[in-house]
């Protein structure tokens, strides 16, 4: 099989395509023939050795995929060859095949094709749980989404709008902000050109009820200053590169709730929330919810796809088609 390999940590142009032996399913494992895989920002960080966990080289990049079961190992109870599945892994998704534990896979909901399924799992589960499980969003709430034109951002716009939230999309440029309006945001802010705190206050009149922040950097404090009393700020990551230092007097004066959320570890701490979310997400899919996919690339073009995400030039999701 072919795979996109990181043989030395660094920028996406260091990724190379190699021929590797086909994987074999071990006990409790399933081999999936990958038909599509999506690019996530952590893929860039892992390849550059800037993620929270160092992955020794060489390794196959990519963390989210969709395809069909090719074979199963001993002790696999639910899946059989031919089943259409989507899944996540810490690496290995940018390849023609992958062997993963059965428990990391789910059947693709009716209505999603392979490309949509590959782009759906991480971003939409992140969006749903950041808004509901951690952000306690209620219908009518003002929801500010930072990095709104990215994969998680566009999913947050979609989920929040469908659940009755009033979304203010904050993106780096006017063009990207306007695109977010077309996806359902009621207002949009170009935070590289406008005062984020002032505009949130102007739009809401009282401040934001919920802030979803995958960006960090200089915009985190501005957004927290624009939260209403009792508002919730959910930190998803630091795409801008800098980890912000928040003055705690803001939290005290606003009665604000600051929470951090990482989808990778949610099942370890709150299985009930995972089950509840899966049912509601599947219901939203049946109502027509789909990821916004801006571009597709081939396996050979993985370096170019990762570069677009690294340089913040991607809108929505980018998918690798095998």
Residue 165 sits in a domain of what CATH number?
A: 3.40.50.720
Q: Cα 292 to chain center, whole Å?
A: 12
Asked whether residue 199 is domain-assigned, the answer is yes
Q: What is the pTM of this model?
A: 0.87
> In this structure, is residue 278 part of a structural domain?
no
Residue 177 in any domain: the answer is yes
Same domain, 107 and 32: yes
* Closest C-alpha to 245, from 213, 221, 211: 221
Output the pLDDT for position 270: 86
Whole-angstrom CA distances from 18 to 3, 6, 46 are 6, 10, 19
Asked whether residue 275 is assigned to any structural domain, the reply reads no
CA 181 centroid distance within chain: 20
Same domain, 201 and 315: no
Cis peptide upstream of residue 58 (ω within 30 degrees of 0): yes
The Cα 17–Cα 39 span in angstroms is 16
Q: Are residues 129 and 244 in the same domain?
A: yes
pLDDT reported for residue 297:
98
Decide if 177 contacts 169 (C-beta within 8 A): yes
DSSP-derived letter for residue 42 is H
Show the low-confidence residues of the chain (pLDDT under 70). none
Which pLDDT value is given to residue 296? Answer: 97
103 in the same domain as 237: no
First to last CA, the chain: 11
Residues 6+ apart with CB under 8 A from 46: 6, 53, 55, 61, 63, 91
Q: Is 13 exposed, middle or buried, given 0-12, 13-18 or 19+ CB atoms closer than 10 A?
A: exposed
Show the domain range for 305.
Answer: 2-120+291-321
Classify residue 272: in a domain, yes or no: no
Residues 58 and 45 in one domain: yes
Number of compact structural domains in the chain: 2
Answer yes or no: do 314 and 198 share one domain. no
What pLDDT was estimated at residue 266? Answer: 84
Cβ contact 223:197 at 8 Å = yes
Say whether both 35 and 136 belong to one domain: no
pLDDT at 65: 98
């Amino acid at each position: 099989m072919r795979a996109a390999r990181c043989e030395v940590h660094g920028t996406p142009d260091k990724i190379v395509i190699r021929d590797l032996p086909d994987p074999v399913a071990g006990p409790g494992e399933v081999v999936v023939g990958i038909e599509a895989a999506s690019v996530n920002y952590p893929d860039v960080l892992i390849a550059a050795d800037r993620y929270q966990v160092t992955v020794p080289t060489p390794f196959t990049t990519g963390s989210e995929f969709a395809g069909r079961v090719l074979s199963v190992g001993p002790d696999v109870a639910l899946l059989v060859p031919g089943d259409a599945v989507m899944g996540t892994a810490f690496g290995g998704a940018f390849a023609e095949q992958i062997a993963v534990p059965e428990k990391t896979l789910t059947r693709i909901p009716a209505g999603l094709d392979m490309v949509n399924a590959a782009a759906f799992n991480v971003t939409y589960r992140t969006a749903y749980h950041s808004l509901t499980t951690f952000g306690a969003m209620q219908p009518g709430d003002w929801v500010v989404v930072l990095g709104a034109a990215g994969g998680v951002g566009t999913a947050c716009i979609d989920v929040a709008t469908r659940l009755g939230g009033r979304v203010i999309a904050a993106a780096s440029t006017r063009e990207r902000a306007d695109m977010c309006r077309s996806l359902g945001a009621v207002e949009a802010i170009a935070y590289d050109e406008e005062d984020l705190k002032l505009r949130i206050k102007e739009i809401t009149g009282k401040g934001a009820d919920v802030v979803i922040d995958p960006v960090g950097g200089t915009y985190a404090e501005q957004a927290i200053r624009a939260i209403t009393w009792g508002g919730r700020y959910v930190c998803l990551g630091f795409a801008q590169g800098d980890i912000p230092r928040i003055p705690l007097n803001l939290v005290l004066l606003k009665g604000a709730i600051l929470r951090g959320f990482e989808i990778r570890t949610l099942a370890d701490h709150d299985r009930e929330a995972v089950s509840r979310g899966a049912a509601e997400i599947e219901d939203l899919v049946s109502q027509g919810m789909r990821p916004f996919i801006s571009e597709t690339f081939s396996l050979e073009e993985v370096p170019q796809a990762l570069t677009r995400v690294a340089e913040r030039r991607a809108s929505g999701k980018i998918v690798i088609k095998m």
